[in-house]
Structure 1
Amino acid sequence: MQKTEGEESKAENEEVKQVTLMTSDGVKMKVEISIVYEMEIVRSFIEVNDADHSVPFPLPNVSSHTLDLIIELVKNEYDDEFMKTFSHDELKEVLVAANYLNMKTLLDFIATAIANLLEKKSVEFIRNFFNIVNDFTPEEEAEIRKTNEWVFQDLDED
């Protein structure tokens, strides 16, 4: 059975253009072009080179798990509730990936979420979150806490 011209146009419009991305762990993922276009690093390559969408574009700094999270965030229009399900490590991974992919909206969204998470948290919590080693001597830290006492008031429990 042949399709009429109107049916063919409709089928073409319903077909979503996709780009294949190759993650750092070797997974090939087909991603809708509307999502890929938010990834400035990929979009600029596609636009400049009129790239073949069937050839995987390598993302050596993004794992498949992180790319899945990014795709879901974009599809869900940066939903706060979905993002709250992320572990601290996933938040940091998405932040780094958004920076690498030059996804300005996502980068701002995740950075704000992390800032809100760290607001009113203790120094120890923040050090643990970012895996920062305390390089102050106990005396130096005590002096800093004494000099800047106001900073350490009204902190949330970790």
Structure 2
Amino acid sequence: MSIATDSPMATRRSSDLSKHSAEVFAEAVDHPVMVTRRDGEALVLMSKREAEGRSRLLNFAAQLITVTLDDNGSLAERMSKAFPWMLALSPADRVTCAQDLIDAARASFSTDQPHLAIAELTSWKETATAVAAGLGSVDVGWLDDGEPVERP
């Protein structure tokens, strides 16, 4: 899957895998590597983390497409149907969350960087989980008069 066609991909010959395997594997940990073969179609070598990130991004894209096809309600309401954990957020936060997720997805798709959307999705989901657990309603005790505090 290459959403951004402008992103360069390292290319190695299949013979490099036998002659310089450690070097090719180290390169594949950082970014996908296209391995060309004389007798067949080129292959792509990538880390499991990279492959899982791309898979999660495709799953997220499928959910966003479902949201866009629904024409009942606001974006935040439609997103809350696809991502029920958003219901733990305040109505204003749902609107912000929906827009942040769309923006992060667009950035991920256009730069071929799955982690941008996945990090935003994870961050908002963890926030909703914390709010649902009551962690957002704790009164914070602040120090008086801005006096310096001793180091522990």
Tell me the TM-score normalized by structure 2.
Answer: 0.26
Which structure's residues are more often helix, by fraction?
2
